[in-house]
Structure 1
Amino acid sequence: GLPLIAITSDAGSDLAQAAGCLLRLPLVAEADPAIPAPTTSALMMLALGDALAAALWHGRRFSADDFSRLHPSGRLGAALARVGDLLNGLPPAPQVALEASLREIAEAITRGGLGCALVTDPDTAANTVTGLITDGDLRRALLRDPPRAGEAGVLARDIMTRDPLTLDAGQSAAAALALMEQRQISQLVITGHGEPESGSAREHGPTILHLQRLLRAQVA
């Protein structure tokens, strides 16, 4: 039959005698002797249960990836998910050329719905990302020099953030959130292939992870 492990403070009990392995707890009084409700004993059981669980996951080499795979909908599972997993099913990030006008930039940002657009260099083989333009950059350009902006004198290369902060698709969602909070930004450029299931980064190349995507996934 199956082995029986008993957890009790009474070594002489029927349960303890029937068990093949006895985990004996110390016999101590409850928090309030006048009310024999389980308090101290409940805490001891909880501590021993946690110790057994920790021993099992170390013994079986249970990893954060395993936890995320088995508990994808919970908060811990979401925090342990890979960035690429959160991008599955999303369209590629909007892109503009270095010589794009403010109108073209505004259209791209509006179309993408992410509050930003990637600036790419068409002269490179992989359409390399050279910058990032947010809707805030666009507004500041319009307010700083309205006549020049209206005459298409301001281009993407003039207002973009060069070499924007990037993160590989294989990194955890929690790492992405921590980086956004540290740098006080709401968008990250995601690069790399990440894990096989991270289809968005693999198929479309660099894309954008927005803070709202992390919050909707309950990564916090």
Structure 2
Amino acid sequence: MPDAPSQLTPSPVPRCHALLPCAGKGSRAGTDLPKQYQPIAGQPMVMHTLSALRAVPRLDLCVMVVAPDDAWWTSQPVGTALARCGGATRAESVFNGLKFLQENGAHPGDWVLVHDAARCLVTPAQVEALIDACWNDEVGGLLALPLPDTLKVEASGRVAATIERGDKWLAQTPQMFRLGALHTALAATEGRSFAGVTDEASAMEQAGHRPLLVRGSAQNFKVTYAEDFALAEAVLRSRP
């Protein structure tokens, strides 16, 4: 059974919840531990991420979805629900996390902000800006950044083409959608092993929706490769 807080109190007013898929191994990072548990600036990476989310007053419940056999957590982190229902892919973990929220009293009309555990540099102000932008939107949206670099197409190790970048954005997280709508969008792809679902926005796009793009920050990058750890640590140590 997942470690769950007390049941949420029913409310006609939509609430916001945070959901962190945290069941991946992060093999590209080349670390012994799953990368979300790798120390950065004196703390496991995921703790920096949780600290930023827990500093947002409008987030009602923060759920971290971990693998069923995750032995790193010996107790439930303060202010966070630990859901031991992580899947083989990010999409499956998010799908299972949404079901966990529903089982613990969240409503289909509530907002869910899905965030990468490895985006440990997100700030409460960025999360608040996303909530402000999406609160009255019919679909919801995501933090993103206009593509700053020239984009090339590769063929056999050589440039095959240069792509126009004027309308290209780099998707970030959090990505904010209604719980019911996101669950429905993911359920429609479950039978295909969530094929084509690389993030929550892509699932919503497959369901016919057009998510809102909310400008994020270049510092809100996803720690992916070994060299990213030093950069993330430098940014964290530069902050008050």
Q: TM-score, normalised by structure 2?
A: 0.24
Q: Which has the higher helix share?
A: 1
Q: TM-score, normalised by structure 1?
A: 0.25
Q: Which has the higher strand share?
A: 2
- Higher relative contact order at CA 8 Å, sep ≥6: structure 1 or structure 2? 2
Give 1 or 2 for the bigger CA radius of gyration.
Answer: 1
